[in-house]
Structure 1
């Protein structure tokens, strides 16, 4: 026996209610005179808090209301609705599909929605089958007002997948189930691997009580969202963290509007200080969208800080392993329409390298661009080292009288030529440099104190080696 993966439809696989889409398709086909009074309100309430007993009672009565309607005409409506429904599929659902297929599991749509309405969508998405409510059909091909099998909801859904599993030699103990709804508790409890997706208020409590994992298929794997309100931890933080949280620094942001408001992109910035993360986070907050940060493993391995970084969508990079896993995670995020942020220099330059006018970077950003075709948005940051020099363990939070100014400039999105990783990396770093003040491109000899400020406390290495210590191939 093998396992399978069962996916609920509304508010799990789809971003909202499929009923709205089917209603519009019914109207276009002339099978309905238009939305019933209060329909929009009901769908809005469903999208917000999930299934309700009154709502499901109405759905249960739909079988009687369909009596005499042509099953073929309904199937045609379902075909017409497919493209619109596919647009509602959560961006990271495909990641879950691929994982289950690679593990040899069949993927099955399990929904209360009538079979004739959802089967074309299941086929379009590559599902192996659909377990759904079936209406009885008379000899003329019309619905006869009865159910052909269980009403696939709550305990009825459990009965339906149990029957399907038995018929297809599938072991539920080795299976997975995904749902948002408290009423799908019987199905989730019956499989060996229950997964709660975008939980409704009661399912939040159920998942906590039963220690069921919770995911959100609209964001990268591992990103935490606040239940019910549906905000990422990062999005919530953005609403509270402003420049006023840093009274020891002034900020000047330029051309924030060059960051796309949605869709995939790669945000790249130079690296001068530990304070760069704060400045870049403020920029991203001003842009009004979350980002997935690629960061050194040391950040993610740190107690508390590492857990927060992961929950906010950070992608852990362990350069010592040479693994492509961070890039694969970034590619998946970009494929899901997200923004990925990274600093191609990899770390803060030290010693004389800190004052080198020509920025050099690793090849990760160029590789991402080659793999995804996503536009690159260059960001230049200047003055962060005055707030928090490399030689200090903490920023100078007491400097509120003569505050240093942090400049953050955004360049026009660009696409790399694809000629070579080296050439494209140079193009990226040149675009970043163009957002920095003119003084950054002037070669000069730093003072001893300026050099000391570029080294971490206790540094005992060779300053001259800093020119060549970082390879560009990773």
Structure 2
């Protein structure tokens, strides 16, 4: 897949074409900018305003079909005839009805659309709504979003009484008609299509996407999946974090598909017991924080997440993301690459964007698995990242205590102990109540987070003891040549 062209990806693009004119960003409405169709919302508004007296038989089924497969020729034929049905109706009443539901439409905007808007605004491009939906219906919505222009189907109006006359003014803004309308708008505003972007889900918008320099396919309908592949157009989803992929046609996030197989029963070499997963909120921004004892921890966390029915974005070390095949897969599954050596805030910003979009983010504040004596320290220490994210976003922080994972996959082993089937070690994952985040000090809130995690561990975890040489050896990676006495210096810092 091509890279996602938004502000969180490095990308290069010509600000202007050879003609010197600047580009714009044109967005389709239904199934692109919005989650699903606007038609049902407008239909409700028309009935409430008395503009429509009855429900069309099978109307809801038609909307469900649209949400599943996108535009169809019959639905567009009906939309073309809508101007005739509106004949004699008051334009002002239509506009009032549209204004009454504009906020409902704003609530339907895809959660990651704003970050794409921000990228275009930063680079000086006007943002334009380009839709088949009548202009008078979508203008209040576009105004709410602060868009710079609207290209939409326009109905003719009688001069004497401001009622619709049953005719169209200009093209029916669909397929080649949409391209014609966009070209007219671009000419009027000195915008060069070669320097422009266009976003759409529909195969019927192929003419427009082919005409701009930067076509972007969003949530493609089944036919557009093949068109995008054939033309090598980048495909993105605005309802999930950058880089996350969905299964084509099914529309299911790849991670959610994988989580259906993430169950304790699928791991015969460990007796995994998950407690109180119902304490994780079913929706809204959540920061899942856990202690780090083993390479097996991510698998156990995935089993905890699977019980919620949600997806999760996980911050991970760059070494994982740099591995061929594994790295791209980690990104597609919702991973966020962290390179602590650079001191960059980009991973934190990506995590904050996910949280602001209502997603869940998992962090292990210790940053890495403690080695040597540090592994047996009863007092957990964490980096400030989780607390900083909570301060930035107001997300709920939910602690998870992990215990026994090192018995399945110790740091000293390159692979888990897959043959412990007859005597499988017990692994505990306990979810706690949300941590009270004061929001005044990241250091103090980090200590609250680590204390909450520690409280979920067995009593022996909070008692200082002298480990055996064998226990110490299990905490070092294969071929370890470091100084065990200096391992405490590797404890988490303040980043």
Which interval holds the TM-score relative to the shorter structure?
Answer: over 0.9
Instruction: Indicate yes or no: 2:21 matched with 1:21.
Output: no
Deviation string, structure 1 residues 282-308 (Cα, Å, up to 9, x no partner): 111111100000000011011211111
Greater CA deviation, 158-167 or 417-426? 417-426
Residues 23 and 34, structure 1, Cα contact 8 Å, conserved in 2: no
Shift in Å, 1:471: 4.4
Deviation, structure 1 residue 160: 0.4
Per-residue CA distance 1:237-277 (angstroms, 9 max, x = gap): 01123223211001111100011111101000000000001
Q: Report the number of matched residues.
A: 474
Taking structure 1 as reference, are residues 73 and 216 closer, same or farther at Cα in structure 2, changes over 3 Å only? same
The answer to whether the aligner puts 1:416 opposite 2:437 as a matched pair is yes
Residue 286 of structure 1 pairs with residue 307 of structure 2? yes
**3-state SS of 1:135 partner:** strand
Determine helix, strand or coil for the equivalent of 1:101: helix
1:403 to 383, 404, 424: 424
> Does the 8 Å contact 1:24/1:34 carry over to 2?
no
Higher alpha-carbon deviation: 30-39 or 136-145: 30-39
* 1:249 has 2:270 as partner: yes
Q: Distance in 1 between matches of 2:222 and 2:264?
A: 34
Q: Deviations over 1:405-450 (max 9, x none)?
A: 1100001112311221211111100011111111100110000000
Q: TM-score when scaled to structure 2?
A: 0.95
Q: State how 1:116-127 maps to structure 2 within 5 Å.
A: 116-127=136-147
Q: In the aligned structure 2, how far is the partner of 1:109 from the partner of 1:245?
A: 48
Displacement, 1:382? Answer: 0.2
Give unpaired runs (5+ residues) of structure 2.
1-20
Distance 2:181 2:99 in 1: 24
Say which SS state the counterpart of residue 260 (structure 2) adopts.
helix
Per-residue CA deviations over 1:17-67 (Å, capped at 9, x if unaligned) read 101000111111111123211111111100110000000000001011111
Q: Distance in 2 between matches of 1:35 and 1:82?
A: 21
Structure 1 counterpart SS, 2:233:
coil
Partner of 1:131, secondary structure, is strand
**Distance in 2 separating the partners of 1:419 and 1:39:** 52
- Which one of 157, 163, 187 corresponds to residue 142 of structure 1? 163
Structure 1 unmatched ranges of 5 or more = none
Structure 1 distance, partners of 2:141, 2:436, is 35
Question: Does residue 181 of structure 1 match 2:202?
Answer: yes
Could you say what secondary structure the match of 2:87 adopts? coil
Distance in 1 (CA, whole Å) between partners of 2:54 and 2:241 is: 37
Q: Select 1:353's aligned residue among 371, 374, 378.
A: 374
Equivalents in 2 of 1:412, 1:228: separation in Å? Answer: 38
- Work out whether 1:468 is the aligned partner of 2:489: yes
- Find the aligned partners of 2:298 and 2:38 in 1 and give their Cα distance: 40
SS of structure 1 residue aligned to 2:79:
helix
The aligned residue for residue 365 of structure 1 is 386
TM-score by length of 1: 0.99
Secondary structure of the residue aligned to 1:6 is: strand
In the TM superposition, what is the alpha-carbon distance from 1:10 to its structure 2 partner?
A: 0.4
Is the Cα–Cα contact under 8 Å of residues 381 and 492 in structure 2 kept in the other structure?
no
2:381 and 2:491 in contact (8 A); partners too: no
Q: Relative to structure 2, which stretch is displaced further, 303-312 or 316-325? A: 303-312
How far the C-alpha of 1:470 sits from its partner, in A, is: 3.3
Task: Give the RMSD, CA atoms, in angstroms.
Answer: 0.8
User: 1:52 is matched with which residue: 67, 72, 87?
Assistant: 72
2:151 corresponds in structure 1 to 131
Residue of structure 2 equivalent to 1:7: 27
Q: In the aligned structure 2, how far is the partner of 1:241 from the partner of 1:398?
A: 19
Q: Secondary structure at the match of 1:307?
A: helix
Structure 2 residue 322 is matched with structure 1 residue 298: no
Contact 1:374 1:415 in 2 (8 A): no
The farther-off stretch of 165-174 and 461-470 is: 461-470
SS in 2 for 1:415: coil
Pick aligned residue for 1:221 from 225, 231, 242: 242
Partner of 1:154: 175
* 1:340 alignment counterpart: 361
SS in 2 for 1:134: strand
Pairing partner for 1:206 from 222, 227, 238: 227
- Which of residues 416, 437, 446 is equivalent to 2:458? 437
Tell me what 1:98 maps to.
118
**Following the alignment from structure 1 to structure 2, what is the Cα–Cα distance between the partners of residues 418 and 200?**
43
Q: Which moved further from structure 2: 409-418 or 398-407?
A: 409-418
1:260 pairs, out of 261, 265, 281, with 281
Match of 2:105 in 1: 85
Return the alpha-carbon distance in structure 2 between the equivalents of residues 58 and 348 of structure 1. 61
